[in-house]
Chains A and B, each alone.
Chain A
């Protein structure tokens, strides 16, 4: 992921804006992205929780799946062959969280799937977007025309003042509920707006034609409530919200059940459901729904002030030599003013309140399994 040569890195349509606003640019998933602005990670994080934060997520992949039959249900049925979610049931103007699975039940990527009435709109992770597009073309080309929407930027506006800030440019957004989505005019531009995000806060994600991205974002940032937020705070916000980071908390070696994502697999795709199975790794995943999995993703809180970071090994006590699990994301939660982490533990040790130890710089630090989200979400349902 670390590119040695900055010149090989791609830039988003908002690159000049980031630099002009003092963004500290770092390599991320093949792009030059702002990790923070002069305000710093702590202030940016707290601002997104108390007011509104603007995030450039244009590095993510945006694709349209257009059914050749003209019936969006055919695109939904086709996509259901790759994900364990009920896509047919996603109503027009709604979106749903999903995962591409592999034959072993592991997760190839996680994504958002929106029903735009006559086609599906999907958003995938930056680091996986080339593989995801190839995967879609390999399996869906018979049913769908797959358009990679590389001419669009994507921004997120998150926080309690996101609605009022966006409503100045698009009054309709006040009527939207969590996971509502669809085309909207924002500041006169043809955008796709969804009421969703990656912070645990109420907020919106806005896909905008690349050539208008800077104008739109400048208009949003002209509002004193809105500050630009870098990847640093994006990570601490999503961690406090208990949301998975692909490639860290979930990957090809973790199933949706092990990843504690059962809530995202609708009954219709589970054993006994109307369209049970029929996705890669269904046998393993559905068996884990019935019999349970041997390990599980959990939230972890420390007793002390020392953050426990990704990669730290977990143990049952302060002396045992065999690790029982590993931290997959960890850091400091500015809203909690305390360290927070998530990781994998044997299911038998995954109940809230269970005591475990993490090894940090040769010392065993006490941790407790804790409910997620660590910070309650404020979605407008």
Chain B
């Protein structure tokens, strides 16, 4: 089990060949109060850097990108019902979707926690 990060402030929890994806606590603090989340359809094939989900605050809409390529195997319906979870538990309960990893070599381009902290600073 490894957690990796992107420069767009998303996190990936890698468990076997599945990556669970969410946004970081820093990202939610920048977004502000989240009022709407749109998730990808299960079964959709995403390419790395493709817009996969939408998160909207009172003021603005932002995309959540697929940090790696893969097929969507599960989405977090709880987020649709309670978008504010993104603000209260970005790194945990507020995961967005799970991808079946298509190309493990893409993980090499991501940051570990120490590198992400340095990137944010």
Contact = CB atoms under 8 A, between A and B. Distances in A.
Interface of A: 35-36, 40-43, 45, 232-233, 235-236, 305-307, 309, 331-332, 334, 339, 361
Interface of B: 32-33, 35-36, 38, 54, 56-61, 80
A307 B33 contact: no
A45 B59 CA distance: 12
Nearest to A38: B29
A375 to B, nearest CB: 14
Contacts of A236: 58-59
Contacts of B60: 309
Closest 3 pairs (CB-CB, A-B): A42-B33, A332-B35, A41-B58
Given A41-B33, A232-B32, A332-B35, A309 B58 contact: no
B32 A40 contact: yes
A233 B57 CA distance: 12
Contacts, number: 47
A361 B62 CA distance: 12
A235 B59 CA distance: 9
Contacts of B57: 41, 332
Nearest to B59: A232
A40 B29 CA distance: 9
Contacts of A233: 58
A229 B36 CA distance: 22
Contacts of A305: 35-36, 80
A306 B57 CA distance: 11
Contacts of A41: 32-33, 57-59
Contacts of A235: 59
Nearest to B87: A40
B58 A42 contact: yes
A58 to B, nearest CB: 21
A41 B56 CA distance: 13
B14 to A, nearest CB: 29
20 contacts: A40-B32, A41-B33, A41-B57, A41-B58, A41-B59, A42-B35, A43-B33, A232-B58, A232-B59, A235-B59, A305-B35, A305-B80, A306-B56, A307-B35, A307-B61, A309-B61, A332-B36, A332-B57, A334-B35, A339-B36
Nearest to A235: B59
A153 to B, nearest CB: 25
B77 to A, nearest CB: 13
A376 to B, nearest CB: 20
A337 to B, nearest CB: 8
A332 B32 CA distance: 13
Contacts of A331: 58-59
Contacts of B59: 35, 41, 232, 235-236, 331
A339 B58 CA distance: 9
A238 to B, nearest CB: 13
A6 to B, nearest CB: 18
Contacts of B80: 305
Contacts of B33: 40-43, 334
A43 B58 CA distance: 11
Counting chain A CB atoms within 10 Å of each CB, the highest count among B36, B56, B57, B58 belongs to: B58
